[in-house]
């Protein structure tokens, strides 16, 4: 059987018959997927946010942080230990100095120094007040002159402004009057022009209204005539249509009558023709039968053979066509089966690739989770290790503090035992030396020193540093070893111990100034600020956990000037300088 199809469909069917060649679309898609995979691997190889690169970078950053933290901790610990040692020395010196300065005698000396300073400052204040009065009078005179000069300038400026304002107002008034005159002339001209135009418009309007009225009257008359003629014409047309309709109906009746008579004649003729054809067929068949009966048998056999051969050839052609059709159907069916199998294989491969990629993604997620858990575990281990090290350091510090406290108790027992008298004498020497330094400082600054001598005399009387009066001659022989001693001056060769060196920070500025004030030595310069980083480190350690070492220095020692022994002005004083005088 014939099949009608387009050229594209025939090309597609012809392509299916070639079973040995692979589909180019499938090949191109496979190569494209392979190319995408290679390009993706090359791209992600250098991506900073890929899984491998992120893990590698995080590991490098973690190691760098750990190394930097270890270096910073080591550096900080060394500096911390050095700082704490200096603070320990400074604290011991500061404690002794604070105990010394908190006693009554140094306070008495400080009061005397303050009194001398107040006496000098009173004189300086009087001079300063006189200078202030002189400067105030001079400033007042200058201000008065300046005010008078500015007042004159202001009055001149106001007069000039008033004159200029009057001239400007006058000019502006003239301009306004000229503009008003021009505006009034222009308005009058415009009004006259407008009035003339209105008159012309009124005349033209009357003419147009008359023309319009005439046109309306003519139009109404013409409209009435037209409507009347239209009514007559429509009446005539309606009458004509009625007549035409009646004639058309009569014509239809005649045509129906003719049609019926024609149909009857045609039916009669058809029956007669069928009868004649039937009779002719019977006549021809009778003639053929007569001819066959009288014909040649060989010719009949030959015709019969030719007829049979033609029938067989026709049947063979039909059978070949049928077999070709069946074969083509079978090929089409096989091709569809192969295409379906190929589609299923491609779909299975696609699903396998998709599942592979999905499994790889899931594995990466699980791997990330495992890596994160390992990282957290390492962090916990590192934290436990640091806690353990910190606990060991705390225990070590506690042990050191216990040992230090034990040594301090032993030293305190020794201090309050056999060294008590030496310490008392050392305190007297220190006070007297300090008093000598205050006297020298007052002399250098030109301050009166009577209050200082009075404080020194009071201290010597209070602590019985003057020599006792001689015993009666009858008792001297029994107390020869208790000869009177004069302790109102320092021992020969006594010098104050130098203060420990310390880097004074910004927080210790107030403490240093406070020490200078409590000493009475006002020559002490304010200490300079230290490095900000060291201060930040110390603040960081101060806010940490208490371990017995995080104590802030609260005082600062100033270096005293060279000691000079000043003779007292009391009758009991037996200084060498006084005797020399």
Residue-wise pLDDT tens digits, 208-231: 888 888 888 888 888 888 888 888
Q: Which residue has the higher pLDDT, 487 or 387?
A: 387
What span, in angstroms and rounded, lies between the C-alpha atoms of 455 and 108? Answer: 6
- Arithmetic mean of pLDDT, 86-100: 81
Separation of alpha carbons 243 and 334, rounded Å: 79
Q: Above 80 in pLDDT, residue 450?
A: yes
**Using alpha carbons only, what angle is made at residue 381 by residues 379 and 385, rounded to the nearest 5 degrees?**
115
Place of tokens 């880097």: 503
Give me 231's structure tokens: 């009514």
403 confidence band (pLDDT: 50, 70, 90):
very high
Average pLDDT, the chain: 78
For residues 578 and 581, give the distance between their C-alpha atoms in angstroms, rounded to a whole number. Answer: 5
Q: Give CA–CA dist 513/104, Å, rounded.
A: 21
User: Which position has the higher pLDDT, 110 or 567?
Assistant: 110
Q: Is 516 left (phi over 0), alpha (psi -120 to 50) or beta?
A: alpha
Under the banding of pLDDT at 50, 70 and 90, the label for residue 109 is confident
Give the side-chain half-sphere CA count within 13 A for 69: 8
| Average pLDDT rounded to a whole number, residues 81-101 | 82
**DSSP line for 100-161:** HHTSHHHHHHHHHHHHHHHHHHHHHHHHHHHHHHHHHHHHHHHHHHHHHHHHHHHHHHHHHH
Q: What is the mean pLDDT of residues 87-107?
A: 79
Task: Determine the pLDDT at residue 485.
Answer: 73
* Residues above pLDDT 90, as percent of the chain: 6
d(CA 537, CA 78): 12
Q: How high is the pLDDT of residue 286?
A: 78
Say yes or no to pLDDT of 572 above 70.
no
Q: Which residues contact 522 (CB under 8 A, 6 or more apart)?
A: 117, 441, 516
More confident residue, 134 or 279: 134
Candidate ranges 87-101, 275-289, 310-324; pick with highest mean pLDDT:
310-324
Whether the pTM exceeds 0.95: the reply is: no
Residue 125 has pLDDT above 60, yes or no: yes
Asked whether residue 545 carries a pLDDT value surpassing 70, the answer given is no
443, 564 Cβ separation under 8 angstroms: no
Distance CA 259, CA 407 (A): 154
Residues 427, 102 contacting (CB under 8 angstroms):
no
pLDDT tens readout for residues 159-206? 898 888 899 888 888 888 888 888 888 888 888 888 888 888 888 888
pLDDT of residue 451: 85
Residue recorded with tokens 């002339």: 185
Query: What is residue 548's predicted lDDT score, i.e. its pLDDT?
Result: 41
Q: DSSP H helical segments within 417-449, as ranges?
A: 420-444
- Among 20-29, 356-365, 464-473, 548-557, the range of highest mean pLDDT: 356-365
Residue 525 has pLDDT above 50, yes or no: no
Listed residue (83, 178, 180) closest to 540, CA to CA: 83
Is the pLDDT score of 507 beyond 50? no
Quote the tokens at residue 269: 């003729």
Radius of gyration of the chain (CA): 69
Identify the band that residue 503 occupies on the pLDDT scale cut at 50, 70 and 90: low
Helix, strand, or coil here: 509?
Answer: helix
Residue 358: its H or E element: helix 297-416
Two structure tokens written together for 132: 């202030």
Predicted confidence band of residue 387 (pLDDT cuts 50, 70, 90)? very high
Contact assessment for residue 452 and residue 109, using Cβ atoms and an 8 Å cutoff:
yes
pLDDT band for 453, please (50, 70, 90 cuts): confident
Write the CA distances from 221 to 218, 225, 232, 468, integer angstroms. Answer: 5, 6, 17, 166
Res. 468 pLDDT band, cuts 50 70 90: confident
3 state SS of 417: coil
Q: Is the pLDDT assigned to residue 241 strictly greater than 70? A: yes
In this structure, of 119-123, 167-171, 533-537, the range with the lowest mean pLDDT score is 533-537
Q: Does residue 256 carry a pLDDT above 70?
A: yes
| Residue 544 pLDDT | 44
CA nearest to 545, candidates 382, 385, 398: 398
Given a cut of 80, is residue 292 above it in pLDDT? no
Q: Torsion-angle region of residue 397: left (phi > 0), alpha (psi -120 to 50) or beta?
A: alpha
pLDDT of residue 329: 86
* Residue 451, number of CB atoms within 10 A of its CB: 21
Q: Indicate whether 35 pLDDT > 70.
A: yes
- Mean pLDDT, residues 342-366: 87
Model pLDDT, residue 532:
45
Half-sphere CA count of 272, side-chain side, radius 13 A: 6
Q: What is the pLDDT of residue 384?
A: 92
CB proximity list for 542: less than 8 A, separation 6 or greater: 550, 552
- Are 560 and 524 within 8 A, CB to CB? no
How far is residue 517 CA from its own chain's centroid?
A: 51
pLDDT confidence band for 331 (50 / 70 / 90): confident
> Which two tokens mark 493?
């060769």
Please name the residues in contact with 5: beta carbons below 8 A apart, sequence gap of 6 or more: 13
């Amino acid at each position: 059987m014939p099949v009608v199809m387009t050229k594209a469909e025939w090309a597609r069917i012809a392509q299916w018959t070639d079973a040995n060649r692979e589909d180019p679309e499938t090949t191109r898609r496979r190569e494209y997927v392979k190319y995408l995979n290679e390009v993706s691997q090359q791209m992600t190889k250098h991506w900073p946010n890929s899984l491998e690169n992120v893990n590698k970078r995080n590991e490098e950053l973690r190691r760098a942080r750990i190394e930097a933290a270890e270096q910073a901790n080591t550096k900080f610990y060394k500096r911390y230990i050095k700082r704490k040692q200096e603070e320990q020395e400074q604290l011991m010196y500061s404690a002794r100095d604070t105990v010394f300065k908190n006693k009554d005698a140094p306070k008495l000396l400080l009061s005397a120094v303050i009194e001398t300073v107040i006496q000098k400052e009173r004189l300086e204040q009087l001079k300063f007040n006189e200078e202030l009065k002189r400067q105030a009078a001079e400033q007042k005179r200058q201000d008065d002159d300046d005010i008078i000069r500015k007042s004159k300038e202001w009055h001149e400026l106001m007069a000039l402004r008033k004159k200029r304002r009057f001239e400007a107002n006058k000019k502006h008034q003239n301009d306004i009057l000229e503009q008003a005159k021009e505006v009034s002339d222009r308005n009058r001209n415009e009004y006259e022009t407008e009035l003339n135009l209105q008159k012309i418009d009124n005349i033209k309007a009357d003419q147009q209204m008359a023309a319009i009225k005439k046109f309306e009257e003519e139009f109404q008359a013409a409209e009435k005539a037209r409507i009347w003629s239209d009514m007559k014409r429509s009446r005539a047309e309606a009458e004509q249509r009625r007549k035409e309709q009646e004639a058309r109906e009569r014509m239809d009746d005649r045509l129906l009558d003719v049609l019926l008579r024609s149909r009857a004649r045609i039916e009669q003729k058809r029956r007669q023709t069928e009868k004649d054809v039937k009779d002719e067929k019977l006549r021809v068949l009778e003639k053929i039968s007569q001819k066959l009966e009288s014909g040649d048998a060989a010719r009949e056999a030959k015709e019969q053979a030719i007829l049979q051969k033609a029938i067989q050839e026709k049947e063979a052609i039909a059978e070949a066509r049928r077999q070709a059709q069946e074969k083509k159907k079978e090929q089409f069916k096989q091709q569809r089966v192969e295409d379906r199998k190929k589609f299923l294989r491609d779909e299975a491969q696609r699903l396998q690739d998709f599942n592979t990629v999905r499994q790889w993604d899931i594995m990466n997620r699980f791997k990330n989770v495992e890596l994160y858990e390992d990282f957290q575990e390492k962090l916990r281990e590192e934290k436990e290790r640091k806690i353990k090290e910190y606990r060991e350091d705390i225990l070590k510090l506690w042990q050191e503090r216990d040992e230090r406290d034990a040594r301090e108790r032993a030293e305190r027992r020794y201090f309050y035992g056999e060294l008590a008298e030496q310490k008392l004498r050392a305190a007297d020497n220190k006070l007297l030396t300090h008093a000598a330094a205050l006297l020298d400082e007052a002399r250098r600054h030109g301050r009166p020193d009577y209050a200082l001598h009075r404080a020194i005399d009071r201290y010597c009387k209070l602590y019985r540093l003057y020599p006792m009066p001689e015993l009666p001659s009858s008792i001297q022989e029994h107390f020869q070893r208790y000869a009177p001693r004069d302790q109102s001056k320092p021992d020969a060769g006594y010098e104050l111990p130098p203060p420990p060196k310390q880097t004074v920070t910004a927080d210790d500025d107030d403490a240093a100034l406070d020490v200078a004030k409590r000493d009475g030595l006002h020559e002490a310069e304010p200490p300079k600020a230290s490095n900000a980083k060291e201060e930040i480190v110390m603040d960081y350690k101060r806010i940490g956990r208490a371990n017995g070492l995080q104590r802030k220095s609260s005082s600062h020692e100033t270096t005293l000037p060279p000691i000079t022994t000043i003779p007292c002005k009391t009758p009991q004083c037996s200084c060498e300088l006084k005797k020399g005088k």
